[in-house]
Amino acid sequence: MGIIDRFRIENAVQTYDFWLELRGMRSRRRKEARRELRTNLRDAAADVGVTQALFNIGSPKELAYAMTPEATQRPRWSLGAMWASLAFVVVVFGLMYTASTFTSGVDASGVVGRQVTGFVFPWFGVDFMARIEPNRGGLAVGAGNAQWYVLGLPLLAFVLAARPWRAFTQKAS
Amino acid sequence: MSIHDAQMLKGVLALLLLSLLADEDNYGYGIVTALREAGFTDLAEGTVYPALTRLEAAGHLESYLQRSASGPARKYYRTTADGRADLVARRESWHDLVASVGRVSGLTPSVTHPKEN
């Protein structure tokens, strides 16, 4: 079996695992479920080919739902990590874009040779800094206190999506 | 290739799985293959695997890992005492259903009553 075929099978297995986790299946059982599906898919692929083997199991999401008729309320760590990563990318891109725009504004204003600091909506608490050297001698860009956004927003996204308090409420019940 | 009514097939899937596994331990894809060889060519893995999980959760099947010659260990299923009792009940239920349908529809049942034991 080639690398691409192995990747296609593993992709289906990991998608299946993702949905199993969302349905609240514990990690030990998910590990068993992953192993079983992987083995079955490889056997089927050897028999009828990878494409047909994947077609026959249908959607990994629907398979995961069929495997777990009753979802349990457990933390959804994978979903949390996914949203945290997305929030991180958005925040970093937003900060870089804003800093670039701020620097362009400073450059357009003709202020050279000294550091300019300012606030840009909606980045409350973040000090954007830009310094344009005379005669196009270079520039320096910065954003102070941005760590609250870079770390805080992804953490918030993680907590809201993963719902870690379910681990405690489940133990209490 | 035979095409079966999907809902009807789902109704008897547990009976088919328990019957197969009462004869011989088998693993997921092996069971699918056996069912296809028996004529259930339209039966997808996406239907069989959840049914196996449900039967295991209900205590009718138990599983164990066994290494295969071709690769990683396979999860084999076998019937439990509960599963064998359930199989007897399902076979009787199936026999009654076939007899009743036969009386109403005028069809002659072509199955024989399972051995009681």
Q: Which of A43, A47, A55, A61 to mutate to test the interface with B (most CBs of B within 10 A)?
A: A43
Strand partners, B78: B62
Instruction: Indicate if ipTM > 0.90.
Output: no
Say whether B44 and A38 touch across the interface (CB within 8 A).
no
CATH code for the domain of B58: 1.10.10.10
Residue A40 has its nearest CB partner, among B45, B50, B73, at B45
Please report the pLDDT score of residue A173 as a whole number: 41
Say whether B44 and A66 touch across the interface (CB within 8 A).
no
pLDDT over 50 (residue A55): yes
Residue B55 domain flag: yes
Say whether A40 and B50 touch across the interface (CB within 8 A).
no
Mean of pLDDT over chain A: 88
> Using alpha carbons only, what angle is made at residue A54 by residues A48 and A59, rounded to the nearest 5 degrees?
150
- B74-103 pLDDT per residue, tens: 999 999 999 999 999 999 999 998 888 888
The distance of A74 to chain B (nearest Cα, Å) reads 19
The values of phi and psi at residue B40, to 5°, are -90, 65
| Interface list for A 7-46 with B (CB within 8 A) | 32, 35-40, 42-44, 46
Q: Is A151 on the interface with B (CB under 8 A)?
A: no
Q: What is the mean pLDDT of residues A127-137?
A: 86
Please report the pLDDT score of residue B2 as a whole number: 56
Q: Which domain holds residue B61?
A: 6-80
Other C-beta atoms closer than 10 Å to the C-beta of A13 total 20
Residue B14 domain flag: yes
Residue B100 domain flag: no
Residue A129: enclosing H or E segment and its boundaries? Answer: strand A127-132
- Amino acid identity, residue A148? W
Residue B117 domain flag: no
- Amino acid identity, residue A3? I
Q: How many domains does chain B have?
A: 1
Residue B99 domain flag: no
Strand partners, A132: A139
